[in-house]
Structure 1
């Protein structure tokens, strides 16, 4: 039989894989579920393991997109260094790659300067109630007011910077990285599936940087009695659930709106507030 730690790894792995990509906030759920069930925190090491699993899901699912972005960015750089080698059909893809890189900068800078402080002071169920509600409203407005005309191929460097600036708000639990970046992309006129696709591509570098940073800190201070089994299980489960979530979420958005996720955020906020007021 599986012990409690392994069951907790499975449940949190599924939760991370689903909520990382849906606009409902993975951090809120990873804070709230252990709080509701009375589980002891599994610590930063386990959080990093779960994020490594969802990072792997993005890398595998979007492997062709990422390969094309890197290839076209290198082609663009080569054309700038040597004009004779310029390739005319690569401008759009290079623009998307530059948008992703540019959009990574704001969140990376803010996380490096104040990430720990923001997480420490904002890690509260009351804050989560506010962010679930407020940023759920923002997603609803973006979905209703957005023109839904632009594709991901139309994304510019300025678009990347705007969506990247919005991504910095995701450091606050309950905001949802995918939720705030999708909202910004919708306000900029992207179609629903393209807004989600750009959100996932934009999140890849920042999730990778965070995993590398925390992974190094863990490796440096690792306990000799460290048991890897719960963490490996968490990585596998979050990878599988994350991969399936990306696949079916993008399919869902082909002919549906973001309204179900807005309603879910509001209902969850109401449930949390009711529990807090009863204490």
Structure 2
């Protein structure tokens, strides 16, 4: 890959990992529009590492507090908000881990098509709009319980279908459960940490098995630009989401879905 291709693909990964707009839909566009080749497993691992570092550094204070609380209070009757939130992230991660382990190969072989991605981009975009427009949006993370966390985790399973958007579907579920926009986004971002870590580890295993030639310079650039774009994305999204709502992302998803359908049927 050229440096320009590395930068563009890394920025796409960093931004779309956290915005509710579908990363898989965007990663199809360079290949369809410009004829770029697949970036390969090594680059995929690198940009995941960049995204993971961004979310962990941004939420470093929360992660430390949750970790300490989980170790010291997580197995006692005297739970606090941080220990509960740590448990909720664990609970919400379990469904995706189980279903992903059982169906990863089938999904990659049967669902990773432009038509599926176009359809899910549009359908789940409309569902996000409905949730944002009709939900009460009055609760914070302090009011979250384990049942609601499990429901968000079950919703996250749908993100295994390309085009759904992991952040989009978890925010949709959170809104439907009455969480306000910022709380939905924060829980979605915290929930992304074990998911990105797991995806990165799986990609690393595949990379080691494939024994792919490694371009370390490309990997460093990829991880770096993914980190910067992801960090800025998280910061700006949390700063703006309470004011702008989900409608701009819904409109964008509909336009992206239309472009993908044009590639399929045009």
TM bucket normalised to smaller: over 0.9
Alpha-carbon separation, structure 2, partners of 1:32 and 1:116: 23
1:261 aligns with 2:259: no
Correspondence for 2:260: 272
Q: Can you give the 5+ residue segments of structure 2 that lack an aligned partner in the other structure?
A: none
Q: How does 1:1-279 map to 2 (within 5 A)?
A: 4-77=1-74, 79=76, 86=78, 90-223=79-212, 225-278=213-266
8 Å contact kept, 1:119–1:171: no
| 1:94-151 residue CA offsets vs partner (Å, 9 max, x unmatched) | 2111110000100011111111221221111111110011000110011011111110
8 Å contact kept, 1:14–1:237: yes
Runs of 4 or more, structure 1, over 6 Å off, are: none
- For the residue of structure 1 that corresponds to 2:137, the secondary structure is coil
Alpha-carbon separation, structure 2, partners of 1:149 and 1:21: 23
| 1:74-98 residue CA offsets vs partner (Å, 9 max, x unmatched) | 1223535xxxxx5xxx422221111
Alpha-carbon separation, structure 2, partners of 1:78 and 1:39: 50
Cα RMSD (Å) of the superposition?
1.5
Q: Which structure: larger Rg?
A: 1
State the TM-score, normalizing by the size of structure 1.
0.91
Give the CA deviation at 1:226: 2.5
| 1:18-40 residue CA offsets vs partner (Å, 9 max, x unmatched) | 11111001121112322221111
8 Å contact kept, 1:16–1:238: yes
Alpha-carbon separation, structure 2, partners of 1:277 and 1:101: 42
Give the CA deviation at 1:221: 4.2
Give the CA deviation at 1:8: 1.1
- For the residue of structure 2 that corresponds to 1:123, the secondary structure is coil
8 Å contact kept, 2:25–2:118: no
Alpha-carbon separation, structure 1, partners of 2:207 and 2:264: 34
Alpha-carbon separation, structure 2, partners of 1:231 and 1:194: 33
Count how many residue pairs are aligned between Structure 1 and Structure 2.
266
Alpha-carbon separation, structure 1, partners of 2:108 and 2:134: 31
- For the residue of structure 1 that corresponds to 2:37, the secondary structure is coil
